[in-house]
Chains A and B, each alone.
Chain A
Amino acid sequence: MLRFLIRRTLAAAVILMIISAVTFLLFYAIPADPARLACGKVCPPETLAQARHNLGIDKPLMVQFVSWVVAIFVGRDYEGLGHCPAPCLGYSFVNRQPVFDTIIDRLPATLALTVGAAVIFLLFGVATGVIAALRQGKALDKIASVSSLIGASVQIYFVGTLLMYFFVYQLHVFAQPKYIPITEDPVGWFSGLLLPWIVLAIIFTANYTRMTRSTMVETLSEDYVRTARAKGMSGASVVLRFALRGTLTPIVTIFGVDLGTLIGGAIITETTFGLQGLGRLSLNAVNNSDLPLLMAVVLVAAAAIVVMNVVVDALYAVIDPRVRLS
């Protein structure tokens, strides 16, 4: 198991290196000039040249890349602006601060949004999928199928805006969505995120219901399940100990990808609810042409997906011992 995990972690590190190189090339090789953004509207050539020098973008691309990677481990000095301590992912001239500081500030909101919603859509989605599979062809199954179809069809900005309008502003059922650190106010944290969680769950539950249902139906017809029943095991034991375990592999796969994607930035959700997370940050970075920040957010998003894939691989190994041998 340990060897398996080491192998997967090393592979993830290599993938991250490749992603960082590609991301760097994409953002710094395209014909955009971060120095002009930093330089302002009254920017004579010598000031622009100085800004390029301060940013280090007057150097060859490879030197820039190496400096950027080295800065992650040892930090970097920006002339006139001070030291960017390790891990230095660059300096935002729009926000006037190291981008790592900004990301660290926004990450908790995104993590809280993602993890809370994930708990809801995973539990609810799997539960309704199991029930639908066990009641195949019956009313509950049909209700679950139609609900999941509707959930998969609607968009966050539509459902979110609608629910906010009625349940926050008109009926005052939910609190105004906002992120308050759990350490400051646990009740405020929960009530501020409840509606965003529910809306995200409405959208994401559908996939889990449908996936769980179809896999569960398939698993229930497997020989080993029939054998377990034939041996006299109760229905609940068969479902929970055998059928559900067999169903979990594809669920874990999509859960890992979804979680990684959401951590990378739930742009629409955060924008709809005015939450200041990584998604909103990346949107601002795009609008402001803030390349250092955008690049760092892209990297964090990529890292989240890679890390979640490693976690999924590890979970596979737990769920299905055959994976460890392959």
Chain B
Amino acid sequence: MNIRRRSAFALLAAASMALVGACAPGNAGAPAGAPSAGASSAAPAAAPYKPAVITLGTAEDSKGPAIAPEGVVKGGTVTMIDRDDYAHLDPAQVYVNTDANMGLLLNRGLTGYKRIAKGEYKLVGDLATDAGTPSDGGKTWTFTLKDGVKWQDGAPITSADVKWTIERMFAPFVTFGPSYIQQWLTEEDYKKAYKGPYDGKELDNIETPDDKTIVFKFKTPHADANYAFAMAGYSIVPKAKDTKEKYDQGPVSSGPYIIKSHVVDKSYELVRNPNWDPNTDPIRGAYPDVWKLEFGQEALQITDRLVADSGPDQTAFTFYAAVPPERLQQVLDDPNLADRRMISPSPYGNYYYFNLDRVKDQKVRQAVNFAWPSKQIQQTLGGPNAAALPTTILNENTTVGYEPYDLFEKTTKPEGDIEKAKQLLAESGNPNPTIVYAYNQTPVQEQVTVVIKNALEKAGIKVVAKPLDRKTYYDSISQTKNEFDLYWGGWGADWPSGSTVMPIIFGPVSDGGQNMSHLNTPELSAKMKEISENPDIDAANKAWMALDKEVQEKYTPLVVAENRIATTLHGSKVGGAEIDPQQWVVSPNTIFVKK
């Protein structure tokens, strides 16, 4: 998922964690079976952080109800305060993490992530009885719907609804949601291959032998398809109640709540869906009776309200408003806030991309990496409490099979190794190259740019800083013929696998595309295709991690950027609040109101 446009402003303002990742759901967690946190490649933040662990659940795990957090109380009204309303309610149009998080209250999909304990999750069947059964080497996936799953009007959820949901995602009006499943079903430009079900045409490779069974027949193997189905964009829409474009204004609930009222950009009130059965749902606790969502508050106001913790704000929390820099130290230092603080590093990949069409000498790219002032940038962003220093392309939180490595000695020399950089530049034959660095013109990035300029110039690299307007920043750097050598960009995994990162950021080179380094060799493409089609998911995950290191060793297309750490608060009468390490927002699934 793309951490672009909507997100970039907040990212660079460092005020909101959610908008940092205009990020798809399901970009899950981390090293299943990976080395311990102690082996993490990120320079340690103030509090040790243990990456999430995700494993595949069984049919037994897929049974409801959800595992209740300690001390849970049912009932009451909880208030959620944030800055912005949700862009989309139609699941087919949902891709960003904030929208996906809201979707958990209203919508259900075939699969989803069940919280087992803090930082421990399992992929389980949500509407399905389990996380799906692959066959034909991963080309065919079969799901069976649970008994007793219903829409808000009491009608049963059927396999026809599931088929309709996927087919409608081909319709021309669906343009914001994920596209993995559609692409896999057609293996060509899916928008041209099929126009959706509204003219009566169906996809014959989605089969519904009975009301409970749904079979997907992909053209090529996709061993992680069950992870893709966990994306909020693939939540189910009722065939009988589909209103096409208008569905975005009022979805039919299959989840624990229904929308009682919604004033755009101001508020929601959600009340219980009487036809949701907790015994069918292993994911959502749905403990409060009523949810009140308020919008229009800035991160500073939200933080001050939650710190004050007075009156109705005691039962309030925020999905994504991180404590802003001006309050961060106060919040971290206040012992009274210790049990109301939540801290989590970003699950996204952040990179300073080299433009390989311009910076052609790998020695220069390596020299920049060695000279990179990671520690100084970290300090500029607020210190170890505000940013960690990863060393790998894939994020440890969103990569099953994560293996740390540190090619450029960031762990031991986070301030940069100027001598090593000079040595590499001397070997390159150009000891004083010029790097045109484009940056998003925000106050924070202005400061970061000065830090980068100073460090690289110590190594003998002349830095020409080019400020870009934040509205057009991504449009400028994603032009293939841009006139910059180095620029920041981000990408987040859509589920915990390199398969949703590497083939994107090193995929096709096009204007407006995601391959911002322009690294695109036949050898690399063939290798990524081979891994993507590997029916053994564990082997594939291992191969992605190995490719991560190989890309940096062989091509060095980027400098791995700092990773923001979000701190957020909740009111004293809110229980079960924790940041979902995959979505980087506070999950609604475990929230309850204390008596």
Are A169's CB and B310's CB within 8 A? yes
Residues on B with beta carbons closer than 8 Å to the beta carbon of A82: 246
A147 contacts chain B at the CB level, 8 A cutoff: no
Residues of B close to A284: CB separation below 8 A: 84, 265
Are B244 and A41 in contact, CB atoms less than 8 angstroms apart? no
**B9 CB contacts on chain A under 8 angstroms:** 287
Query: Which of A11-19, A91-99, A209-217, A253-261 forms part of the interface with chain B?
Result: A91-99
Report Cα–Cα, A281/B264, bound state, in Å.
Answer: 11
Q: Which residue from A39, A94, A161 sits with its C-beta under 8 Å from B87? A: A94
A81 at interface, CB cutoff 8 A = yes
Enumerate chain B residues within 8 angstroms of A176, measured Cβ to Cβ.
305, 311, 313
Q: How far is the CA of A47 from the CA of B170 in the complex (A)?
A: 12
Contact A95 B192, CB 8 Å, known A40-B176, A274-B296, A280-B296: no
Cβ-based interface call for B2 (8 A) = yes
Instruction: Determine if B298 is an interface residue (Cβ-Cβ < 8 Å).
Output: yes
Task: Check A172 for interface membership: any CB of B closer than 8 A.
Answer: yes
A95 to B87, CA, bound (A): 7
CB neighbours (8 Å) of A164 from chain B are 301, 304
Inside 8 A of B87's CB, which chain A residues have their CB? 94
- A4 surroundings in chain B (CB, below 8 A): none
Smallest CB separation, B213 vs chain A (Å):
29
Q: Is the CB of B176 within 8 A of A42?
A: yes
Q: Give chain A nearest CB distance to B16 CB in angstroms.
A: 12
| Interface size in chain A (residues, C-beta < 8 A) | 36
A252-298 interface (Cβ within 8 A of B):
271, 273-276, 280-281, 284, 287, 289
Whether the Cβ atoms of B304 and A47 lie closer than 8 Å is no
B-contacting residues, A73-105, CB 8 Å:
80-82, 94-97, 102, 105
Partner of B175 from A47, A97, A276 at Cβ < 8 Å: A47
Contacts of B246 in A (CB 8 A): 80-82
Given known A-B contacts A176-B313, A276-B265, A42 and B301 have beta carbons under 8 A apart: no
Q: Are A41 and B304 in contact (CB under 8 A)?
A: no
Contact A96 B191 (CB under 8 A): no
Q: CA separation between A161 and B299, bound complex, in Å?
A: 12
Give min CB distance, A220 to chain B, whole Å: 46
CB distance B298 to A42 under 8 Å? no
The answer to whether A42 and B175 touch (CB under 8 A), given A164-B304, A176-B313, A280-B296, is yes
Assess A50 versus B304: contact at CB under 8 Å? Given A94-B87, A176-B313.
no
Contact B175 A40 (CB under 8 A): yes
| Set B172, B192, B300, B307: member contacting A161, Cβ < 8 A | B300
Contacts of B179 in A (CB 8 A): 42
B191–A47 CB distance below 8 A? yes
How many angstroms between the C-alpha atoms of A105 and B295 in the bound complex?
A: 14
User: For residue A311, which residues in chain B have a CB less than 8 angstroms away from its CB?
Assistant: none
Query: Are A81 and B264 within 8 A (Cβ)?
Result: no
B59 close to chain A: CB less than 8 A: no
Nearest Cβ distance between residue A80 and chain B, in whole angstroms? Answer: 4
Residues in chain A near residue B311, CB distance under 8 A = 176
Total number of B residues with any Cβ neighbor in A under 8 Å: 40
Question: B248 within 8 Å of A by Cβ?
Answer: yes
For B283-320 the 0/1 string (1 means CB < 8 A from A) is 00000000000011110110011011011010000000
In the complex, B95 has a CB within 8 A of chain A: yes
Task: List the A residue with the shortest CB-CB distance to B178.
Answer: A42
Rounded to whole angstroms, the CA-CA distance of A54 and B37 in the bound complex is: 53
Interface centre among A40, A80, A172, A275, by most B CB within 10 Å? A40
Instruction: Mark B304-342 against chain A: 1 for CB-CB distance below 8 A, else 0.
Output: 110110110100000000000000000000000000000
B205 beta carbon closer than 8 Å to chain A:
no
Q: Is B280 an interface residue when CB atoms closer than 8 A count as contact?
A: no
Instruction: Please indicate the chain B residues that have their CB under 8 angstroms from the CB of A47 in the complex.
Output: 172-173, 175, 191
Q: How far is the CB of B6 from chain A (nearest CB, A)?
A: 8
Tell me if A271 and B298 are in contact (CB < 8 A).
Answer: yes
In the complex, whether A44 has a CB less than 8 A from a CB of chain B is yes
Q: Which residue of A lies closest to B88 (CB)?
A: A96
Find chain B residues with CB under 8 A from A168 CB: 304, 308
Known: A168-B308, A274-B298. A96 touches B248 (CB 8 A): yes
In A145-170, which residues have CB < 8 Å from any B CB?
161, 164-165, 168-170
Assess the B308–A170 pair: CB atoms within 8 A: yes
* A185 at the binding interface (Cβ < 8 Å): no
Which residues does chain B contribute within 8 Å of A43, judged by CB atoms? Answer: 175
List, in ascending order, chain A residues with CB within 8 A of B295's CB: 276
**Residue A46, interface by CB 8 Å:** yes
Q: B263 in the interface, Cβ–Cβ < 8 Å?
A: yes
By a CB distance below 8 angstroms, the chain A residues around B95 are 41
Cβ of A50 and Cβ of B310 under 8 Å apart?
no
Interfacial chain A residues near B409, Cβ < 8 Å: none
Residue B249, interface by CB 8 Å: yes
What distance in Å separates the Cβ of B251 from its nearest Cβ neighbour in chain A?
12
Among A42, A165, A271, the residue within 8 A (CB) of B304 is: A165
Complex Cα gap A94–B264 (Å):
10
- Give which listed residue, B173, B189, B249, B308, contacts A96 with CB less than 8 A: B249
Nearest residue, chain A, Cβ from B87: A94
Taken together as a complex, chains A and B put the C-alpha atoms of A293 and B571 apart, in Å, by: 35
A170→B248 CA distance, assembly (Å): 41
A231 to B93, CA, bound (A): 80
Q: Give the nearest-CB partner of B312 in chain A.
A: A176
CA distance A165 to B305 in the complex (A): 9
* B266 lies within 8 A of chain A by Cβ: yes
* Interface membership of B187, Cβ < 8 A: no
Nearest CB in chain B to that of A95: its residue: B264
B245 an interface residue at 8 Å Cβ cutoff? yes
A276 and B300 contacting across the interface, CB-CB below 8 Å? no
Give the residues from 81 to 131 in chain A that come closer than 8 angstroms, CB to CB, to chain B. 81-82, 94-97, 102, 105
Chain A residues with CB below 8 A from B301, complex form:
164, 273-274
Beyond A47-B191, A81-B245, A96-B264, whether A169 also contacts B307 by CB under 8 A is yes
Alpha-carbon gap, A169 to B327, bound state (A): 14
Which residues of B in the span 157-182 have a Cβ within 8 Å of any Cβ on A?
Answer: 172-177, 179
Q: How far is the CA of A321 from the CA of B307 in the complex (A)?
A: 58
Q: What separation, in Å, do the CA atoms of A170 and B174 have in the docked complex?
A: 48
- The residue of chain A having its C-beta at the shortest distance from the C-beta of B297 within the complex is A274
A-B pairs, 7 with minimum CB distance: A40-B175, A169-B308, A40-B176, A274-B297, A80-B245, A47-B172, A95-B264
A-B contact pairs, 12 of them (CB 8 A): A46-B172, A47-B173, A47-B191, A81-B245, A96-B248, A169-B305, A169-B308, A176-B311, A273-B301, A275-B296, A281-B265, A287-B9
Q: Report which A residues bind B (CB closer than 8 A).
A: 39-44, 46-47, 50, 80-82, 94-97, 102, 105, 161, 164-165, 168-170, 172, 176, 271, 273-276, 280-281, 284, 287, 289
Q: A41-B2, A165-B304, A274-B301 are in contact. List 6 more A-B contacts (CB 8 A).
A: A47-B191, A81-B246, A164-B301, A176-B311, A275-B296, A284-B84
Which B residues fall within an 8 A CB radius of A?
A: 2, 9, 84-85, 87, 93, 95, 172-177, 179, 189, 191-192, 244-246, 248-249, 263-266, 295-298, 300-301, 304-305, 307-308, 310-311, 313, 471
